[in-house]
Amino acid sequence: MPTLGQLYPQLDSVQLPENLPYTQCSAFELRFLYLLGKHRLTGAQGDLIELGSGGGGSTYAAALGLSENPEFDRSSAKLHAYDFFRVGKGTFATEKFFAGGKAPDGQSSFLEDFQEVLGPFLDFVEIHAGDIWETSDPHEKRPIEFLHVDIAKTARVWTCVAERFLPRLRPGSVLLHQDFAGPRLPWLHYSTGALLPYIEIAGPPIRSTLAFEVTERIPDEVFRAIAEDDFSIEKKIDLISAVQEQIDRDHTDGIPFRSVLELAKAFVLHYEGDHRRAWKIAEPLTDDAYLARTRADHFRQIKAELPAPAPAVRRSTMRRRLGRLARKAGLR
């Protein structure tokens, strides 16, 4: 069985079909999902789970790989696909997930379109449609062999992932964080920092995706702290720094992850209401060409919360006020 790092050399050469469903993942991320399915995953060590399947692009890539894997028994193993499978406020799903690239009049669910495009694999793709807090089982304890996280866009959803899925990771489990290049989701970064003693990072992130393998049993206490977000601000920042020491640019050299993670620290502070310190970290990063080009809205968001500067007081006014104070105090 190959290590995750051993799959990297094939990332440039794998050819996927041209007619893949619409996806928000890059070609490299899809190829990695395919390679994992074909060469690494079997479903024999635990569940294979994708959180945030959208229109099915990422699901299709992983399922295609699994279908070509002689170690994968499609008559018994399953690839679980979780998503709202509908558009609407707060879903983070786009109308592009519909087959026609747009929701037909009066329709919000793209589940049928997902089923249509995943047709060749529906015998082993198990669909969990709806809010993940409703569709996941809080009592499920089966180990997870593979977890693709492309859903944790809010702290609320991350809590569900952390409570119900992470504790099912075992040595040998593979986890992919698709949103690792998202500074607004710092829970992905500091939780990875908390897991560092028990995991091996596969290599440079593949575009936005950080992949790792669990190498040691993860103590329950660590899972609890992650699920309860039980870290001080300073600890969160230190944990992100620890991850910064292990990764730099993504494997295409396009994304400077050290800067991205530095901005994630600013978001830790921003969410905690320490807006001055958040801006102190963020402001120097506005010189980073990648962040300036791709994250201008992030800088605006942090800067907008800065307290308004105190109005300047003219020198003559200040002298008059000091004089009054001195007279009151009997100094003049």
Ligand X SMILES: C[S@@+](CC[C@H](N)C(=O)[O-])C[C@H]1O[C@@H](n2cnc3c(N)ncnc32)[C@H](O)[C@@H]1O
Residues binding ligand X (CB under 6 A): 23-25, 52-55, 57-58, 82-84, 91-93, 131-132, 150-151, 153, 157
**53, 118, 163, 268 from 17: Cα distances, Å:** 18, 13, 36, 40
- The nearer residue to ligand X, 101 or 284, going by C-beta atoms, is 101
CB of 90 to ligand X, least distance (A): 8
In terms of CB distance, is 152 or 269 closer to ligand X? 152
Cβ of residue 182: shortest distance to ligand X, in angstroms?
10
Query: Which residue number has the CB closest to ligand X?
Result: 54
Spatial separation of the C-alpha atoms in residues 292 and 76, rounded to whole Å: 48
**Residue 121: strand, helix, or coil:** helix
Length of the chain: 332
Contacts (Cβ under 8 Å, ≥6 apart) of 31? 10, 11, 14, 16, 61
CB of 43 within 8 A of CB of 73? yes
CB of residue 54 to ligand X, shortest distance in Å:
3
Total H helices, total E strands in the chain: 13, 7
Burial environment of residue 27 by CB neighbours within 10 A (0 to 12, 13 to 18, 19 or more): middle
Strands 210-214 and 125-129 turn out to be unpaired
The least distance separating ligand X from the CB of residue 93, rounded to whole angstroms, comes to 3
Q: Closest CB to ligand X among 116 and 216?
A: 116
Residue 131 or 283 with smaller CB distance to ligand X: 131
Closest separation between CB of residue 251 and ligand X, Å? 19
Minimum CB distance to ligand X, residue 32 (Å): 12
CA distance 278 to 140: 39
Which CB sits closer to ligand X, 52 or 65? 52
Among residues 178 and 244, whose Cβ is nearest to ligand X? Answer: 178
Question: CB of residue 161 vs ligand X: minimum separation in angstroms?
Answer: 10
Q: Of 4 and 20, which has the nearer Cβ to ligand X?
A: 20
Structure tokens at 186: 């710092």
**d(Cα 145, Cα 82) in Å, to the nearest integer?**
16
Q: For residues 110 and 257, which CB has a smaller minimum distance to ligand X in the complex?
A: 110
Least separation in angstroms between CB 298 and ligand X? 17
Q: Give, as one character, the DSSP assignment of residue 134.
A: H
Q: Which long-range contacts (CB under 8 A, 24 or more apart) does 164-167 make?
A: 164/136, 164/137, 164/138, 164/140, 165/49, 165/51, 165/136, 166/191, 166/223, 166/226, 166/227, 167/220, 167/223, 167/227
